[in-house]
Structure 1
């Protein structure tokens, strides 16, 4: 005679919880016959991978922390030309104009903070030299792109750039004549307006790189599951899929939010995924996507459906397998391994083989 049903909740990767049940006799021993509404499924043997499924946002990559780059003006005068949102600016090109004088984008991580001329040394000079060489204003044999020194070769190449951009040809770079940012850039929000006064030290727009990435807000409790280099599959809004790889995992969790309507929300970490084939994303920006990150795998595992798991009265899990051709079954305790959330499968180990068949609810 069958007694109560045991209920357990299996927490699997990706924040999914699945309830599993198992029937036991009144003395705590498992039943020995398959119940109605069940079927038998063969235990599989082979490779298995685990995944984390999350929603994400397809956008253009920003700085190291994922935020946009602030474009800070250092020139004095009046804004006479500003880019519109979505404009792409390459290294060495005019970013905007003040009093009709071009402010040039120099690609480097050290912000503009001084005038540059012959004899100066520093990381900002190296960024200038590299930009001049990369954009064809000097050959590597003429100007070392890794040099931190502002020499005569820098002067010659800078004069060519200034002439090309319609700037005063001086062979030096005064503060305010260039913006130093990692580039090329894609312009985001522009806060300055043409015809208004340009004040040094004031942010006037935001920009991102022209690289595509997907940002996922990962539940902080899943941080140990995902690592840099994990492969990912991104489902685009039109249901096409493209591949990517985890390129950055944030270290600061966003504060949990709560209100009377929605209740508490779990803290999250930003995870950046770089697209392997950026052209697949087209011109989509701030587009919602679905992401599946593969977090682990085994080459050879015994695999059963998650729905085959039953909770044991003393704790742990088991599966019910066919004991013969007469419909009788027996309970086999199992140890759980990887979960394949996408396909509802789980790795198990115990006294069973690929020749066995497990009891699952009929669909």
Structure 2
């Protein structure tokens, strides 16, 4: 159901005003306070205003602030673990991720796992990742080594020797299985350490797990709202300390997760100003997602809507003399966050006062 067709979502409190000559119910889902006044039937009311401008459909969601990605570091070296990073440590591409038998195991960026020795004459996706990493680290220029090449040639050999010299590894010009770990990010943050110093580093075991250093908010969105949110939608993130910062939906998951109470899909949000989010990890946040925006429209408080007995809606307009009249309206976009709704109706104009519950 779209934001423009949510008439059924209005919570109604019955209040028949006989003097108006028309039966209706007062729609009051927000109950926002306004300047108090009174009407003839003794019900406490207030005044809201018809405004003109931009309105956005927003949905309020609970989210979790943390870091994007989760990457297991699979070890392929043999021997005892002699040095490990701590949880929270940042490791950059080309640096040692951990040490086995006193020898550094290096982090390189790539989504394809290391699974074999790499040496002159080899070809493949892992070689292409190696070439790209060597260029990114400055051990070769793009003129010397094509980062898209999947061939281990002369320039790869010399660049590997420079990498080994820089990191204190024996300069052989080739990489044996276990000397490097490919992870998808060029800079990672250690989130879990599974090994212990002195323990055997079993090949194929996960010694540690890491994330990227990119800040991210995830929202478990009810699956029936998936079509209402898309990549590029702007959001407002309310942090645990109450401050707000902007963000944008990066992508919306397509695989639903079902638990006892609901079925959800993950929505991944990138903060526009990562520094503003601090360094909290797995912190609860509030997220206001903008799924649709309209401009230059008339809006009223949602609780000004009167559901007519014969169907449809009206608002009760109060003129400068205090006289009141019902104006039938068509509703458009709802902004749950601001508590306002787009309306259209003959005789409705910007600046008019409308009756709302006190």
Q: TM above 0.5, one fold?
A: yes
- Aligned partner (choices 55, 58, 70) of residue 62 of structure 2: 55
Q: Given that residues 43 and 303 in structure 1 are in contact (C-alpha distance below 8 angstroms), is that contact kept between their aligned partners in structure 2?
A: yes
**What residue number does 1:340 align with?**
335
- For structure 1, the residue ranges without an aligned partner over 5 or more in a row are 1-8, 63-67, 258-264
Change over 3 Å in CA distance of 1:321–1:173 after alignment to 2: same
1:153 to partner: Cα distance = 0.4
**What residue number does 2:134 align with?**
132
Name the SS for the 2:157 alignment partner. Answer: helix
1:121 to partner: Cα distance = 1.4
Change over 3 Å in CA distance of 1:57–1:126 after alignment to 2: same
Q: Given that residues 23 and 309 in structure 2 are in contact (C-alpha distance below 8 angstroms), is that contact kept between their aligned partners in structure 1?
A: no
Matches within 5 A, 1:121-160: 121-160=123-162
1:40 to partner: Cα distance = 3.6
**What residue number does 1:280 align with?**
276
Change over 3 Å in CA distance of 1:77–1:26 after alignment to 2: same
Name the SS for the 2:249 alignment partner. Answer: strand
1:23 to partner: Cα distance = 2.0
**What residue number does 1:249 align with?**
252
1:158 to partner: Cα distance = 0.5
Q: Given that residues 17 and 41 in structure 2 are in contact (C-alpha distance below 8 angstroms), is that contact kept between their aligned partners in structure 1?
A: no
1:338 to partner: Cα distance = 1.0
* Cα-Cα RMSD: 2.3
**What residue number does 1:260 align with?**
none
1:50 to partner: Cα distance = 1.5
1:328 to partner: Cα distance = 3.9
Q: Given that residues 120 and 150 in structure 1 are in contact (C-alpha distance below 8 angstroms), is that contact kept between their aligned partners in structure 2?
A: yes
Change over 3 Å in CA distance of 1:361–1:178 after alignment to 2: same
Is 1:185 the counterpart of 2:180? The answer is: no
TM-score under structure 2 length normalisation: 0.87
Is 1:29 the counterpart of 2:22? The answer is: yes
1:39 to partner: Cα distance = 3.3
Change over 3 Å in CA distance of 1:326–1:230 after alignment to 2: closer
Q: Given that residues 28 and 313 in structure 1 are in contact (C-alpha distance below 8 angstroms), is that contact kept between their aligned partners in structure 2?
A: no
Matches within 5 A, 1:9-24: 18-23=11-16
- Aligned partner (choices 191, 194, 197) of residue 194 of structure 1: 197
- Aligned partner (choices 235, 240, 255) of residue 238 of structure 2: 235
Matches within 5 A, 1:305-316: 305-316=301-312
Change over 3 Å in CA distance of 1:112–1:28 after alignment to 2: farther
1:318 to partner: Cα distance = 2.4
Residue correspondences, number: 336
**What residue number does 2:317 align with?**
321
Is 1:44 the counterpart of 2:51? The answer is: yes
**What residue number does 1:204 align with?**
207
- Aligned partner (choices 282, 289, 293) of residue 293 of structure 1: 289
Name the SS for the 1:23 alignment partner. Answer: coil
Aligned partners of 1:255, 1:128: CA distance in 2, in Å?
Answer: 40
Aligned partners of 2:277, 2:174: CA distance in 1, in Å?
Answer: 41
Q: Given that residues 46 and 357 in structure 2 are in contact (C-alpha distance below 8 angstroms), is that contact kept between their aligned partners in structure 1?
A: yes
Change over 3 Å in CA distance of 1:11–1:151 after alignment to 2: farther
**What residue number does 2:122 align with?**
120
- For structure 2, the residue ranges without an aligned partner over 5 or more in a row are 1-5, 25-38
Q: Given that residues 49 and 301 in structure 2 are in contact (C-alpha distance below 8 angstroms), is that contact kept between their aligned partners in structure 1?
A: no
TM-score under structure 1 length normalisation: 0.86
**What residue number does 1:352 align with?**
347
